[in-house]
Chains A and B, each alone.
Chain A
């Protein structure tokens, strides 16, 4: 059973994370889904794959009324991000899915119709959720060629998708990063291999370093808080990416 935990609360404005499924088979990577709610409306980020839909849906139902979810946000096109789309649409055919314009004709292979998708232009856009304004922040090539983060300026939380993700071993999988230096070892290989462009990486680092971010929430691994957010940005800026294959392919 996945856990659902509130990580930010200010009246009707909340962020909850759905995470850490002890019953998940080992061959499926664990994911963090974030439910952002404002009043009677909620948006779910990267709702996950088809296989984990029962676990995600039932965990959300334990605390929230899933009928209040009016929108999905897909950071990119991967199966662990959005392959459950058809099942969510079976539950609520009026759901809207925000995603990069680049994938707007690819994602319908998972489900949906012309009314389902709201294409995000490369430069990003504002997304209204009840009275709350969220921002789709460009993170292209990190790792997908059409890739977005989601920023909540009021809560000072950045949903960073695969940026900041870590493949954590059992026993070191706390929800929040406790020791940055220990934690980042589990993020390094992932970022070297998955992130394809140093130029895009530096552009992203420059962009987000100007934002007020109290929590940086990746789709896999632990959440960075406070000073660890800046530590991560600095670490990422220094990390050579797009070269991870050298470590795994023998000549």
Chain B
């Protein structure tokens, strides 16, 4: 994988979020779409959370390499700190995704109630008059839930942007690690392996996002 291809993924991620935000009214009403976004983000979360373990390996390798890898050691410690931050960020994303799906499922339930009431009201004028109040009350509940759902959706978008800025830092760290690994002497191979693994993790995340982009474009 080239460094260039890694960076291609991040603007795409932004485009996806922009798409979601600009179509939020329609998008928020589909449980299928919510599940699709949820599945892709779950994969991104799983993948991103592997960074912490790889960063721990980087610290251990740097320690074994001794003085020859002072620079790599600094990068490894930064990666470790980055890994913790990513994990925290992913926990926030996980909670928001869960809330998002829950709100949309609740919307679907309320919409079904409204549809049934509307069907009854359509039968004759008397039904319509009798059920109008019930319908209005239910519709207010629906609108309230919709507002909460959209707010959660917006928050999810904001948190994804935050996660992206963190990922950008990870990409820079990975690049720095690749440079410092060249001073690794006998541990060169191990260090390069670690940096490659970090690249792979980011690549996997980007591939997931590309598939989401395709789904949204259909």
> Which A residues form the contact surface with B (CB < 8 A)?
1, 50-51, 53-55, 57-59, 61-62, 65-67, 86-87, 90-91
Contacts and interface: CB of A to CB of B under 8 A. Distances in A.
A250 B97 CA distance: 52
A65 B102 contact: no
Interface in B97-115: 97-99, 101-103, 105-106, 108-109, 112
A61 B108 contact: no
Contacts of A54: 102-103, 105-106, 109
Given A50-B109, A65-B39, A87-B109, A58 B32 contact: no
A65 B105 contact: no
A54 B35 CA distance: 13
Given A67-B35, A86-B112, A62 B106 contact: no
A67 B40 CA distance: 13
B112 A55 contact: no
Interface residues of B, number: 17
A61 B35 contact: yes
B47 to A, nearest CB: 16
Interface string B88-104: 00000010011101110
B117 interface: no
Contacts of A53: 105, 108-109
Contact of A1 (B35, B98, B112): B98
Contacts of B146: none
27 contacts: A1-B102, A53-B108, A54-B103, A54-B105, A54-B109, A57-B101, A57-B102, A58-B101, A58-B102, A58-B105, A61-B38, A61-B98, A62-B94, A62-B97, A62-B98, A65-B35, A65-B39, A66-B35, A67-B32, A86-B112, A87-B105, A87-B109, A87-B112, A90-B31, A91-B31, A91-B32, A91-B108
Contacts of A55: 102
Contacts, number: 47
B84 to A, nearest CB: 22
A67 B215 CA distance: 15
Given A62-B97, A67-B35, 10 more contacts: A1-B98, A57-B101, A58-B99, A59-B98, A61-B35, A61-B97, A62-B98, A87-B108, A87-B112, A90-B31
- Among A53, A57, A87, which residue has the most Cβ atoms of chain B within 10 A? A57
Contacts of B35: 61, 65-67
Nearest to A111: B112
A202 B103 CA distance: 45
Contacts of B112: 86-87, 90
B117 to A, nearest CB: 14
A51 B112 CA distance: 12
Contacts of B32: 67, 91
Contacts of B31: 57, 90-91
B118 to A, nearest CB: 15
A55 B109 CA distance: 11
A58 B109 contact: no
Interface string B109-153: 100100000000000000000000000000000000000000000
A58 B105 CA distance: 8
Contacts of B106: 54
A65 B101 CA distance: 12
A67 B112 CA distance: 20
B108 A90 contact: yes
Closest 4 CB pairs of A and B: A58-B102, A54-B105, A54-B106, A58-B101
Contacts of B94: 62
A91 B101 CA distance: 12
Contacts of B39: 65
A58 B98 contact: yes
A67 B32 CA distance: 8
B2 to A, nearest CB: 31
Contacts of A86: 112
Nearest to B145: A54
B38 to A, nearest CB: 5
- Among B32, B39, B102, which residue has the most Cβ atoms of chain A within 10 A? B102
Interface in B148-197: none
- Among B99, B103, B109, which residue has the most Cβ atoms of chain A within 10 A? B109
Nearest to B103: A54
B171 to A, nearest CB: 28
